[in-house]
Structure 1
Amino acid sequence: MYTHGGGSLVSLASSVRTVRPPAFVHIHCLQTTCPSSDCPTVPQYIAVAFRTRRSYHRHTVSHPIAQGKAVTANGSARKPEVKGGDVTWSICAMSSQAVDCNALEATTSIEDITEDKLNRDILRRLKNDELSALWLCRPDLSGDNKDYEHHEDYELGSSRELDWLGHFTKKSTRLEKFGILGDDAFRNCSGHSVDRFLGNLGKCNHIKKMIFYCTDLAEIIYKLGPAMKNNSITHFTVERCYLGVPEATFLFNTFRDMNSLEALDIGGDEEEEGPSNLNDGEMAGCIPSLAACTGMRSLTLAYLNLSTNSCAALRCVFPRMATLRKLVLQANSLDDDCTRLLAQGLSDCKQIQSLNLCDNRISDDGLDVLVQRLPTSVDALDLARNDITLARHVLRLRFRVLDISGNSLCPGGTRVIAVSLANPECRLESLNVRGCNIGDEETATLADGLRNNQRLTHMSLGNNNITERGWNAFSPILCDVSSINATYNSNHTLHLGGNGADIPENVRLLVSLNEGENKSRVAANKILQAHRHLDMKTLFGRELGLLPYVVAWLDHFAKSRPGLKLSSIFEFVRAMPMKVTNWVVGNAKGEKRKLNS
């Protein structure tokens, strides 16, 4: 608690302590300038902001502070804390006086700027124009993030460090990527120093990629505009970042001036972190701005509550994106009507290859629309965790990759898939049916559909109700032991994905053999394992003409089984003794004539 004379911040503390957020409260010192001449380094007016996942609140409280006890030796501030459902906090006061980096650069060493060894290395490389990527993060996030693991995250310790970072950044010619990871990356810095840094960031004209992960963009989004526009940004990612309606509107309006944009990724996650508070109508108002991004190749709008209105807006935008290759609309509120709107808009996107609509509410009707109306260039479709049942027969021959995992297929659903797999025109190479309520009978149906299919290379069947009996249905498909020819013509390409412990050892061994790139060797290994004794009778029709090839094949593939080579030759000799004798005698006479001549 900080006091000035007889006054205190009890009323401010009380107002903040009464807030009991559902999950997260963020308290930030927004105003750090002091109009009073007698306390130049301490804020006279404290602005406290706090937000929940659904709203952002800002309160300015006029409490003069005479003592700067919150300021540490290097100008940094204490950390706000969140404990349980209540807020425990400290008011941050810090110097906002700018460092004249131009005047001091010649006499200031990197060691004078920061004591952190990793930060020194990053600053030194940035100063020497050797750094291609700069990542700012809160101290407790560095090296501990599984989604964005960067070994050179800069943990900001003070406003002075941020001023030097901005100074070196604006002069860099090699810096191509900039990112902020986590909330409170600037918590040890004054608001003015943040503004100065973002201004300098806008002066670096070589940045191509910007990434913001778990960042409260409400604090900085309006200052980012110049940096986004002045650079030829090609990739822009906002993941699990707080965005209210004003911030989202500003962000999308900025995209109007970013016609160099090739990849845009905006989304939250299943824990409702990020811009999930936006609704369909609000997003429908933002989306038209994307029409200016005519060079877009990859577009991700996930966890944004997109529905009919947003899809109608996208339908008008897609014709401007002729180079679009990948579209991800994961975890929205898309239904069958939405698929019709999307298919209409994508009809002119002749280069699109991948469409991800997982975690929505699309049924068999929507799937039929996608199969029939999507551009023929689409060869990868992800409809995981929708309402697909495959209750009626529609051939799925056109896709190379199909993911329908997490859908509860009807009892005849696997028959629909098997018919497609058995069709010679089927293009499927990867099929994911994890968690689709598949049992042993359905597994046998799928295996039967693969009897003459050599194109499918991966089928994922995990999280189903498959026992050893079901898995064994794949054994004759992977290695038909009825004859050597049958073994040779078995499936040598299929990889089965499942719960490893549930797959029988014999099936697992055959699948592991299929991992070999040389399919001739794969076939040979299966023949040698399945047929301990090679029956040569089927080769006798060619008499001795095939014997050299048999010997060569055994030399190449059965080096570890010399007895097999001898027994195979013996079969030829026993079946055709006189022919072998004449062949040997003839060869001997030929050699003798060569010697005599």
Structure 2
Amino acid sequence: MDTDRRDYEYYEERAEYVKFEDITSSEHNANIFELLVAVNPIEWNKKIYLLEEEIDGDPDEFVVGEGDDLGWLGFFLGRNSHLVELHIKYFPAGKDKMNAFMDGFKHNIWLQELYISTDLGRDGYESLGHMLRNNDALVNLCLHEFDIDLESARGIASMLSNEQYKSLKHLFFVQNDLGIEGLTDIITSLRKQPQLEELKLCGNNVDGDGCLALGYALESWEGASLKKLHLCHNDINDEGLHALATGMTKCNYLEALTLCANPSISAAGLRSLSTFLQSKSCCLERLDLDQMNIDCAGVGALVAGLSSNIPLKCLCLSGNSIEDEGIDALVSSLPKCSKLEELHLSENGGFSAVGLKSLSNVFQTGLNLTQLHLRDNAIDDKGLMALVQGMKSCRSLAKVDLSHNNAVTAVGLQALLRAGRSSLKELELWGMRIGDDGAKVIADALVGNNSMERLYFCPGYSNVTSEGWSAFSRILCDTSSVNDTYISNHTISNIGGYQSHSAPNTTRFHLFLNTNFHSKEVATLKLLMHHGDIDMIPFFRWKLMFLPLVVDWFQRARPCWEAIHLMVPGEQILQFEDMSALHGFFTEEPEAYQSRELSAMYKFVRGMPMLAVGKEEEE
């Protein structure tokens, strides 16, 4: 029987009797069929990737081979209720194979996410519409990184315009090189999908005509559910943005707008955007205007909109040309954005102390910023110290990005860390030569600091030597005394980078402890590791009242001891030369831990024998 005559009934009649190894081109594909028919499959991430050739040999890779792989796959997909994601990265040419696959696939009513990165052709998209009509679970449909010609675009438009797919919430077209006519057809078809909550049309040359069509579509969605609109890396101009802004005034739930990398928009277009920001329907929480060549005039055009009390939480203006004058204009509007949490101003050519002083004033207006991004802005120590003057009154700032501001030295870093001591959790210093002096300043600032969690810099570029790493090691675990160990830093989980292999192994190990245990547990573990024979003399002043506390401490510490011994085998410690001192701790048997407890109690009582004897006589 020819493949083009193999309809759903053909596969259904044979499914009960077939052997998977007989109907597939590989054992790997047969294993996928086993998963698809299993009642409750285990050890499967519920994804399948259709590929032309094997990539990693993972269980979710279905390599399309000779024979009827696709027909049977479509049939089993149609009956499967466990699969969550299907990624079609390859599909062979030929109407017969498409029909055989789609005839079964259209019966699937459980699939939630469909990702397509190869052109299925007009017939393929129109056939896909049958599956969309049957499926009430599909939430995400993404077509990305492949060219869509006019005929295919019309097939997609037909698929989207025939019926409203109520479950479909997220629709993405990314880098498809759509022509103007095809793009316009697709955008026009979106009028049938007012239930969409997120629409992404990125890298698809959405010009003036496309914006006009999208504006009309948005207007037709009046009162609809759209929450996120992404239009980055297109060719939107002032007229196009005006048409979009008109349509967006009908979107009463729009929370996020991304327009980055549309450099043809000038101050005139930004005034149209500002008008939208002032509309009663505007409820934007995120506005992304990165890489749009915005200058001081552009910022001036936005000021009226930003001053209109919109519930903005994140404002992205990186990669522009704003400079000091623009900062001053921006700062005048930000106090009205009372909910603003993130401000991105990286890569704007450079800010002097004057501009940063203006920005510093934002912190004194009651604005609760949590993130400030200023990477690559030619900031020096003078500018940074002007900025941190206002930071002293801010208790919400948790993240600062100063990467690639190479004129900042240890002096500026010290001022920053002192100002943000109570709240700062993450500091990014990528591409900066902080050197040993900077490392020591940072380490000193981390003494007694219970907020900092992540400190990022490039170990290979930063000029931090073993001397600088020693400073970090000491603040993570100072073994000079029990008290010094106890008050070491137990909160910071990352120093240097995501995998800072240039750090000493002991430093990395203590960061591992800080990452995987609560700070109180970390303190306990460091005491157990580095003070096997705890000195009891400092506790004598509390006399025998302290003895129950000693017993209680060891009992509460035992679960920590057991947990770390399960996580880190003793033989693993032997692999690291600079951690040999810890080998005894990690090879310690449970009986040895109990001996520690009894030894501490014995030394405590022995240290004050007269009190112990007197206590016995009273009893």
TM-score, normalised via structure 2 length: 0.66
Deviation at 1:203, TM superposition (A): 2.7
1:221 corresponds to which residue? 211
Q: Percent identity?
A: 25
1:435 corresponds to which residue? 431
Matching of residue 290 in structure 1 with residue 277 in structure 2: yes
Match of 1:162 among 156, 173, 190: 156
Distance 1:409 1:220, change over 3 A: same
Deviation at 1:110, TM superposition (A): 5.1
Contact 1:406 1:436 in 2 (8 A): yes
Q: AA paired with 1:417?
A: L
Deviation at 1:309, TM superposition (A): 1.0
Q: Deviations over 1:324-379 (max 9, x none)?
A: 11111111111011111111111212111111111112233222211213542223
Matching of residue 202 in structure 1 with residue 199 in structure 2: no
2:314 corresponds to which residue? 326
- In 1: Cα distance, 2:545 partner to 2:536 partner: 13
1:563 corresponds to which residue? 595
- Normalized per residue, which structure has more helix? 2
- In 1: Cα distance, 2:237 partner to 2:597 partner: 75
Residue correspondence of structure 1 range 255-294 to structure 2 within 5 A = 255-268=248-261, 275-280=262-267, 283-284=270-271, 287-292=274-279, 294=282
Q: Deviations over 1:463-508 (max 9, x none)?
A: 4221121121122322232321222122211233314122122222
Unaligned runs of 5+ in 1: 1-106, 142-154, 269-274, 588-597
Question: Equivalent residue of 2:201, what SS?
Answer: strand
Deviation at 1:108, TM superposition (A): 13
Distance 1:568 1:108, change over 3 A: closer
Q: Deviations over 1:505-541 (max 9, x none)?
A: 2222222221144222111111112212110111222
Deviation at 1:314, TM superposition (A): 1.1
Deviation at 1:300, TM superposition (A): 0.8
1:459 corresponds to which residue? 455
Distance 1:356 1:331, change over 3 A: same
Distance 1:159 1:256, change over 3 A: closer
Deviation at 1:181, TM superposition (A): 1.7
- In 2: Cα distance, 1:494 partner to 1:109 partner: 50
Distance 1:565 1:379, change over 3 A: same
Contact 1:430 1:457 in 2 (8 A): yes
Residue correspondence of structure 1 range 104-503 to structure 2 within 5 A = 123-137=130-144, 139=146, 158=152, 161-162=155-156, 164-168=158-162, 170-185=163-178, 191=181, 197-218=186-207, 220-231=210-221, 232=224, 233-268=226-261, 275-280=262-267, 283-284=270-271, 287-292=274-279, 294-360=282-348, 361-374=350-363, 375=365, 376-391=367-382, 393=385, 394-395=388-389, 396-397=391-392, 398=394, 399-411=397-409, 412-420=411-419, 426-462=422-458, 463-499=461-497, 500-503=500-503
2:84 corresponds to which residue? none
Q: AA paired with 1:536?
A: M
Contact 1:288 1:313 in 2 (8 A): no
- In 2: Cα distance, 1:402 partner to 1:205 partner: 39
Distance 1:127 1:164, change over 3 A: farther
Distance 1:410 1:538, change over 3 A: same
- In 1: Cα distance, 2:129 partner to 2:548 partner: 66
Greater shift in the superposed pair: 276-285 or 390-399: 276-285
- In 2: Cα distance, 1:579 partner to 1:286 partner: 81
Q: AA paired with 1:565?
A: E
Q: Deviations over 1:211-241 (max 9, x none)?
A: 1121121363332223222222221111222
Contact 2:126 2:159 in 1 (8 A): no
1:25 corresponds to which residue? none
1:24 corresponds to which residue? none
Question: Equivalent residue of 1:476, what SS?
Answer: helix
Contact 1:280 1:308 in 2 (8 A): no
Question: Equivalent residue of 1:414, what SS?
Answer: helix
- In 1: Cα distance, 2:610 partner to 2:537 partner: 17
Deviation at 1:160, TM superposition (A): 7.0
Match of 1:574 among 593, 606, 612: 606
Question: Equivalent residue of 1:212, what SS?
Answer: strand
Q: Deviations over 1:92-149 (max 9, x none)?
A: xxxxxxxxxxxxxxx99959x98999986674134444322333346469xxxxxxxx
Unaligned runs of 5+ in 2: 1-102, 108-119, 562-589
Distance 1:137 1:481, change over 3 A: closer
- In 2: Cα distance, 1:382 partner to 1:446 partner: 19
Q: AA paired with 1:414?
A: L
- In 2: Cα distance, 1:108 partner to 1:417 partner: 62
RMSD: 3.3
Q: AA paired with 1:420?
A: A
TM-score, normalised via structure 1 length: 0.68
